[in-house]
Structure 1
Amino acid sequence: MIRDTSAQDQVLSPRRRRLPPRWLLATVGLAALLALSYTVPKLRDQVGGQGASSVKLSRLSLSTAEIGPLTREVSGEGKVVAAISPTLYAGNAGTVSLTVQAGDPVQRGQILARIHSPELATRLAQERSNADALKSEWLRAEADARQQRAQSQSNLETATIAQQSARNELKRQTQAFEAGATARAQVDQAQDALARAEVALRQARGLLDLKDEASKFELQAKRQAFERQQLNVQDLSRQVDELAVRSPVDGQVGQLFVTERASVAKDGRLLSVVDLSALEVQMQVAESFARELQAGMPGTIQGNGQQWKGVVSSISPEVVNNEVAARLRFQGQRPEQLRQNQRLSVRVQLDHRDRVLTVARGSFVDEGGGRFVYVLKDGQVQRRAIRLGAQGLARVEVLEGLQPGEQIVSNGGELFQGKERGMVSE
């Protein structure tokens, strides 16, 4: 047998290793947790930034912050309307007879239509007859008053003569009594006769005054009744005159709302007249911009290859479908070859500022309310808080957060998914 070295081997007992204290292990573990809590977000941001580095520059729109003028405008499509376009209505019910057609030129005061109303004509004849009857009564009352006054005046004059005769008789009787030619009784009778004559005179004078006063009131009542009836006749005459519908302006017949020999009710629409000498452009403005619109603001009107200056003339106080109707009138000479309801492009200047920090308007204005923007520098973007001011159609004012010359991502910032940093590749 071959001898081995087993006889020389010695079994050794394992030595026991001393473990570190428990408080040391706890300290090391806590330090490791704190390090992880600090480094993990940093790593996440770096990983996220490296993920956003795949955004190509061609997918972004950039804008440089510049100091310059800013003009705030509201634009839209408008239509040509007549500043004066009255609609004519029927003054009374009847049958319509037209004298013009749509598109015919008309002059102020020209008869455009006639309304035949036999009922109104009959009423006018009746009222005129009643007015004539009341006038006759008034005149007859005046004649009666003159006759009664003449009679009362005659009675007054007779009483005056009787009173004078009684006075003379008393004088004669008194002289005769003093001469002893007559008795005392004759004097007393003459005195009684004079007293009766004076009473009769006073009554005749009072009766005349009463007759005059009564006649005055009676004639006044008759005259007022006649005048009231005259007012009725005048009103009906006006209504009959309005049956002939006349043009209130020089212009052109716009639209006919009735046909020939049609029956219309009172206050029914007949036709419209367009005054082409005073044209305006009406546009619909969003309610948010309408709050800033004011009469007198300048504007620009374009169409037919031409451009005209305009000014806001009126703003409707009513909001319809979140829009407000505004009208612009042309400044200077009226444009030629414009027609009712023709479409034109309109711009109204709301505000103008000379030296402000602006950037191009982009999607960042609507996303998040324009509170953040991505600033580009050396191929990297960083999310930065900003504050916007006035906003125009092409550019917006930046009040805080940017410096002149800095570049921002005006469109495409949503590709960075709201991260704080990102990379931009060519």
Structure 2
Amino acid sequence: DEYGYYCYDNTDTLYGFAPTYDWFEIAPPGPGSTISAITNEDARTTTLSLPFDCKYYGTNHTTISVCSNGFLTLGYTSYRFGDNSAIPDTHGPANMVAPFWFDLDPSEHGNIYQYYDEDNHRWICEFKNVAHYGAPSVRETFQAIILDPDYYETPTGDGEIIFQYEDVANPSTATVGIENSTQDVGIQYYYNYNYDPAAATIQDGRALKFTTNPPQPSETPWILFHDYEIDDSFGNNDGVANAGEDFKMYVYLENLGNITASSLDTKLSVTDTLIGMDDSLSFFGDIPAGEVVGDTTDPYDVHIPSDFTDTTALFYIYVESNGGEYGTVVPLTIEVGPPITGIQENKPLVYGLAQNFPNPMNSTTAIRYQIPRDGNVGIKIYNLAGMHVRTLMDGSVKAGVYVIVWDGRNDEGKLVPNGLYFYRME
């Protein structure tokens, strides 16, 4: 940020200061003590003495405040609410340290602990199995660790801070990051389903370090998300991914490293199982250092069902290049518009039978097909021996795009054995 703090996660191994995920359990039977003022309270903050002075954004502090809603502040604050916001923002507390600012409720389940690890010169605060408000079965376990600046040197003398995540249930709309006293400078790692382009996902086993030590990069690519475009010409053609549409997604990646990312291959995955992908692979070729390249000739094919209600969808792009020597995972969030009607008026140009989704199937799987003109269509399932198992469709349909579901049963209504099956359009 503008002050000089950097954030490294434990995938940033090429930049000299990546943390190592090394969970030290302080909850019982560990050595930590309960922070009794907040551990069984909803929306409560308490202020504690630090066992050492800690400089943060240029100011020394001897106390730290801990809120049951997943944030801390260097120094005193009375702010206690889980109505988290972006960083930086004048909403919320000053001097914030936010490992998981969200509407949490330890009065429903979970406890909050502290411990001074004198041997390693660090103070640890742990949220252990703390429930989301109104959802006591959804629980988070994470730590915020303040390192003693006298033993962990930085160019500015500011203290280093580590977040560790042992059990992540659902980051949802949480805020993760740090912020200064005037609330105009900070690092937003994650907020409201959106990651910083350089961030790795918040998940079990993740560690983040905030320090004023600048990166010391080695010779490597560094691939980040840059932009995306939606081609929904078979939908309402407004350039937005709407519920109920099939579309092509063009992604642009940027190489902020110092060497070319050569022969870059990708695979797209999605967090919501309702969303289907007919083509999740894309080859970008070479991305020279400092340049942006898009998959303009090899886009991803995506389908969002009409009953999808979220306004955003989170994808992950698995990247591999340089003969397998470089790899990373790039998060991508797209906007999703409301369901549309009248898709069938945009007739496809060719016949098509798409990959079923999900594959392998669970209790059901959906098969999408399209025909460019009115006519008879048959969709049939066969086993490995070529024997007919089920007729899903056999009749006259109008030109358009359709989805048909197989429930794993044969024509007699009996569940078929597990195994490989094929489908064919006639």
Scaled by the length of structure 1, what TM-score is found? 0.21
- Higher helix proportion (structure 1 or 2): 1
Scaled by the length of structure 2, what TM-score is found? 0.21
- Higher strand proportion (structure 1 or 2): 2
Q: Using CA pairs below 8 Å that are at least 6 residues apart, which structure has the higher relative contact order?
A: 1
Structure number, greater radius of gyration:
1
